[in-house]
Structure 1
């Protein structure tokens, strides 16, 4: 090959190296450009993907709170995080500035990550010799608190980064900051600045001063380390540091900072609130909101809802104590109590068992045989069809024939009167022969139809044993049905919730109670008077009078497995039940515990109420009757009772063996008779 006449060998080599370098540089540049383009495309695709991918629903609100019938908080549906949600626009600027100074100075200038903050935090922490500032932005902290655990793994950090980007893509800066302030932990169970302000200063977050804002803003860095109750001086030093940062950031003046540092903080005393559990009632509330009103259970529990209920905390406490007192001595014995206001259908107390921690099964909704406590429905039907309190039926061993079959009931321990007895006596003695005879006379289908109107929803069959409560029903159904009787024949579905308000005070559920007359007040009043005999001497519930003396009506019910007492005053209907869960027979002496529970509870529950009689409605007539004959009594009758009747069904005949001596009518009587004839 012929050499170039003007190039030396060394120059050729240099030129070759230059050309190769340029070629390599071009390739590197080309590769870098391609890499950048591909990276940009991938980043764009990732951003589009993250933008299109919905974020998990952030659980940043508080646990839902339960309010009793006086508007006082009595419990929380979730024992986890307690918050009082706040809106960013309602907070004082000093709180926002203090939070940004403490956690993320450049929050409104970055897009989720801040290299500047990381470098600054490293420098400050080295200088102070401890973790004084964090490197995570507010968005990163929010992503971690809302969706992730706090473990230090690369997988978690990658997820945090992706979620941080998503938060920035899906929410505005103000929305992110509002979420953060409602989510961050301030120690001692307080999540969110709303709850923290209430806990530490006993005021709303909207009312915080500059000094209080800076004080609270310093706590999230180390909730235990800066605890106002455990390390007050340390927390104050943190407050002063944040005030200095606010001056440096130009948010406040030096004079304002100094004044805030000197401001005496009124830290609220640490108290442990005594909250009524009412666990079974809480479960009932959750079930109602989910199944009846269609709310998601997560929203019900942790949606920051304010759930206004009908529960009376004083009555609930009395109910829990009474049931526990009389069931604890018997291992395995369970009980239930439900108490309602008959005029509104409002549930005032509910206990589904003696120990919620042992068993969460709510026996208020358990299906059990009601026994004789079912009979009032039968007797109301009979009164509607012409029976009266003095209708007599023979009490003796009887075999009933129906639809080609036979049925032979018996009284408890074979106790019969062996004579005709009245409806009043049959109710007081709980005579089964009278009940079955009445059912077959009035009609089984009519009895079932009336029970449905009163509030019984469980399956009932038209058989003679229906009169004796052989078909299972729940205490809840019995309470609703007896409340219909106690209210004068007006049926109202039971309610435990009156209103539900969301975290921003918007009413999302307003319960409108429905009322329907299903029986006359005259018939139900006469039945109530008959049921009062149960608590009189000789009645099956006479033991109640040893504790409870208010005018009351009710009916006991006893089977081989169940003990019931359902009774009421004009103001309160209460159902108590005792028994075993696993089909174990109930000794007769334990069946009486339902009466002791009822009496103890009603004694405490009705203390604020005056002792009053059931009001006499129109369509009722009271007369004195001769108990021996059921006729109108005279002064000569030995056994006299004042009895109420539905007008028109009262006896018209005077006692035949005790007529007053005949005498000549007076002139006035003769004139009155003449005028009436005219």
Structure 2
């Protein structure tokens, strides 16, 4: 008898049943999620598109200096009124598969990811044109995964709500093309002075390349970058068979007539406003679109009253001269680094170049206090040191090289002079003798401590300011002397808030002591003599009614005055952009601009004395010998030293000669009466 084998079904275990239930639940959840997502994509309303708001730049008192995008430059047009060349160029460079994807290009994402992996860096973007539109309409430009997910979602919603041509029309009316122009129509009229429907292939390729970086690819700011980007767009059009190789080559070589930017209305502190925008974009890393679209509030350090005085003083100071003569003025509060006023040239409309930051001008003798501070710090010289003022040969580089400096107009004292007299009269021989004692390397080290970053060479002529430094750096350096040796990095922006009041950035002034207070004070006391009789600043002494120190500087093509009070440091430069020679009368314009501005800017503020710190001592010395004055010395002067460097030997030159009752005032006598008149007014 045959035996029949029967199979018995195994009884499912407890865990098998649980796994099956979980599988069904997951499947149902995915199905529910899919149905819900589909319904939301189909019927959920899109949010209201973002309304672009003007960014405001405010002065220190909260008054508006400038409005960025004060009224958006946009003209809405139909897609049919936009050149087909611009449409093709935009699609070729921004989204080649626009008509194939549903808002998010999975093929493009995979390609971009593969390129990024190969290059081990972010080489490719993967946002579709629809995603870019969604970002501009509904989201910020923050680079986060949350924003990217929202961007993809809104892109999918846009694709459901609008046709492809409607999305393209929205995009071409929304995108930012730089210089305040939003949309193809506004951009076409801004750059080419024609409606968008009349754009040629070459013009369209240039415009299509700008949104990638409106500042970097602006033909007004970076023409070479703009042209390189245009060629890339033309190549993309050729690769996608939108144009032939011959058309691409012809458009690439076509000379375009780009319309000059329209002149801005006159506004206060235009050079400063440009600088604030540059700081926000380049130093603080703000996005240009955010700057122009998201209604930021940028608070600055500018004092509107001082700025008005600066602009008026510069205008008056250049009257009657050559119309090509230029100037720069920057004023800084040395106590915190706040920039209070800035004038970058005589006429912003005709030339926007900001000469405050021009590292092409030799500071001349205005650099000498930096060198003297280095020598005083090293005790290489003291205010009692004396050198002969006469034609001198200096040997350096192991005696292989010779340097023969000259004084202005070949004027020499032909005798020994003190450091005070050398600073007051700007004697070059004394200066080079000093740098030969301290060494150029020490001078460069001092300049770096004071914040000067310009290239400097270790040669004797460094003492005479032969290497270019900007007015900005000179004002910053002298602020250390004004602030008892403490350095504060110059600040233009105090805070940035978004349109909801959220704080995005806040400045925190940080003071660092780079010099001893005593060294700063001794250097300051020496620079006060520039305003004494015989000093290079004596002719403006009557304009100043408060304690002030400073230094003139004159080269063949530059005139400087850099000076300060305890509460304001100002650098003034006068010269020509192309470095042509200045006349004697032109060289004398810098000091009056400094004096008039300083006195008017601080009008109403009580005069402040430079505080006497520990480590500085004042003794009466005989100016002829540099020794301690005896009762018989006829013209003793009060001189200030770093403690321990003052002379200890008493002068015996004058025997029993009767001491004069007061300083004679000849040469660069340290006249207390002259100083008293200047500080309290006549």
Q: TM-score range by the shorter chain?
A: 0.5 to 0.7
Q: 1:385 aligns with which of 378, 383, 393?
A: 378
Task: State the match for 2:314 in structure 1.
Answer: 323
Q: Does structure 1 conserve the Cα–Cα contact (< 8 Å) formed by 2:386 and 2:626?
A: no
Q: 2:269 aligns with which of 260, 278, 294?
A: 278
- Going from structure 1 to structure 2, the CA distance change for 1:302 and 1:565 (only over 3 Å counts) comes to farther
- Going from structure 1 to structure 2, the CA distance change for 1:291 and 1:391 (only over 3 Å counts) comes to same
Q: 1:149 aligns with which of 63, 75, 79?
A: 75
- 1-side partners of 2:402 and 2:43: how far apart? 76
Task: State the match for 2:20 in structure 1.
Answer: none
- Going from structure 1 to structure 2, the CA distance change for 1:660 and 1:70 (only over 3 Å counts) comes to farther
- 2-side partners of 1:50 and 1:449: how far apart? 69
Q: Secondary structure at the match of 1:609?
A: coil
- 2-side partners of 1:443 and 1:152: how far apart? 72
CA apart distance, 1:603: 1.6
Q: Does structure 2 conserve the Cα–Cα contact (< 8 Å) formed by 1:77 and 1:282?
A: no
* Correspondences of 1:424-443 after superposition (within 5 Å): 424-443=420-439
CA apart distance, 1:489: 1.3
Within the alignment, does 1:373 sit opposite 2:366 as a pair? yes
Q: Does structure 2 conserve the Cα–Cα contact (< 8 Å) formed by 1:61 and 1:503?
A: no
Q: Does structure 2 conserve the Cα–Cα contact (< 8 Å) formed by 1:486 and 1:568?
A: yes
- 2-side partners of 1:58 and 1:577: how far apart? 49
- 2-side partners of 1:360 and 1:452: how far apart? 29
Q: 1:395 aligns with which of 389, 397, 402?
A: 389
- 2-side partners of 1:474 and 1:412: how far apart? 23
Q: 2:539 aligns with which of 532, 539, 543?
A: 543
- 2-side partners of 1:640 and 1:364: how far apart? 42
Q: Does structure 1 conserve the Cα–Cα contact (< 8 Å) formed by 2:630 and 2:652?
A: no
Taking structure 2 as the reference length, what is the TM-score of the superposition?
Answer: 0.62
Taking structure 1 as the reference length, what is the TM-score of the superposition?
Answer: 0.62
Task: State the match for 1:233 in structure 2.
Answer: none
CA apart distance, 1:491: 1.6
- 2-side partners of 1:327 and 1:288: how far apart? 29
Q: Does structure 2 conserve the Cα–Cα contact (< 8 Å) formed by 1:365 and 1:475?
A: yes
Task: State the match for 1:227 in structure 2.
Answer: none
Task: State the match for 1:310 in structure 2.
Answer: 301
* Correspondences of 1:220-259 after superposition (within 5 Å): none
- 2-side partners of 1:627 and 1:457: how far apart? 37
- 2-side partners of 1:152 and 1:342: how far apart? 56
Within the alignment, does 1:170 sit opposite 2:160 as a pair? no
- 2-side partners of 1:575 and 1:49: how far apart? 65
Q: 2:408 aligns with which of 409, 412, 421?
A: 412
CA apart distance, 1:153: 6.7
* Correspondences of 1:48-59 after superposition (within 5 Å): none
- 1-side partners of 2:414 and 2:532: how far apart? 22
CA apart distance, 1:631: 2.0
- 2-side partners of 1:396 and 1:315: how far apart? 43
> Unaligned regions of 5+ residues in structure 1, if any?
1-43, 82-144, 174-182, 184-273, 662-678
Task: State the match for 1:630 in structure 2.
Answer: 626
Task: State the match for 2:16 in structure 1.
Answer: none
* Correspondences of 1:1-150 after superposition (within 5 Å): 60-81=51-72, 149-150=75-76
Q: How many residues align?
A: 450
CA apart distance, 1:611: 1.4
Within the alignment, does 1:641 sit opposite 2:676 as a pair? no
Task: State the match for 1:503 in structure 2.
Answer: 499
Q: Does structure 1 conserve the Cα–Cα contact (< 8 Å) formed by 2:384 and 2:647?
A: no
Deviations 1:300-348 (A, max 9, x none): 2343111111100000000011111122432100000000001101100
Deviations 1:6-33 (A, max 9, x none): xxxxxxxxxxxxxxxxxxxxxxxxxxxx
Deviations 1:207-255 (A, max 9, x none): xxxxxxxxxxxxxxxxxxxxxxxxxxxxxxxxxxxxxxxxxxxxxxxxx
Q: Runs in 1 of length 4+ with deviation above 6 angstroms? A: 47-51, 165-169
Task: State the match for 1:358 in structure 2.
Answer: 350
* Correspondences of 1:327-338 after superposition (within 5 Å): 327-329=318-320, 330-338=322-330
Q: Does structure 1 conserve the Cα–Cα contact (< 8 Å) formed by 2:268 and 2:308?
A: no
Q: Does structure 1 conserve the Cα–Cα contact (< 8 Å) formed by 2:560 and 2:590?
A: yes
Q: 2:340 aligns with which of 333, 344, 348?
A: 348
Deviations 1:537-559 (A, max 9, x none): 11111122132231110000000
- Going from structure 1 to structure 2, the CA distance change for 1:633 and 1:347 (only over 3 Å counts) comes to same
Task: State the match for 1:460 in structure 2.
Answer: 456
- 1-side partners of 2:626 and 2:557: how far apart? 38
- Going from structure 1 to structure 2, the CA distance change for 1:338 and 1:59 (only over 3 Å counts) comes to farther
Task: State the match for 2:473 in structure 1.
Answer: 477
Alignment RMSD (CA, Å): 3.4
Q: Does structure 1 conserve the Cα–Cα contact (< 8 Å) formed by 2:418 and 2:623?
A: no
- Going from structure 1 to structure 2, the CA distance change for 1:78 and 1:482 (only over 3 Å counts) comes to farther
Q: 2:614 aligns with which of 611, 618, 624?
A: 618
- 1-side partners of 2:332 and 2:292: how far apart? 25
- 1-side partners of 2:50 and 2:318: how far apart? 41
CA apart distance, 1:652: 1.6
Decide which structure has the larger Cα Rg and report it: 1
Q: Does structure 2 conserve the Cα–Cα contact (< 8 Å) formed by 1:369 and 1:471?
A: yes
CA apart distance, 1:59: 6.7
- Going from structure 1 to structure 2, the CA distance change for 1:396 and 1:277 (only over 3 Å counts) comes to same
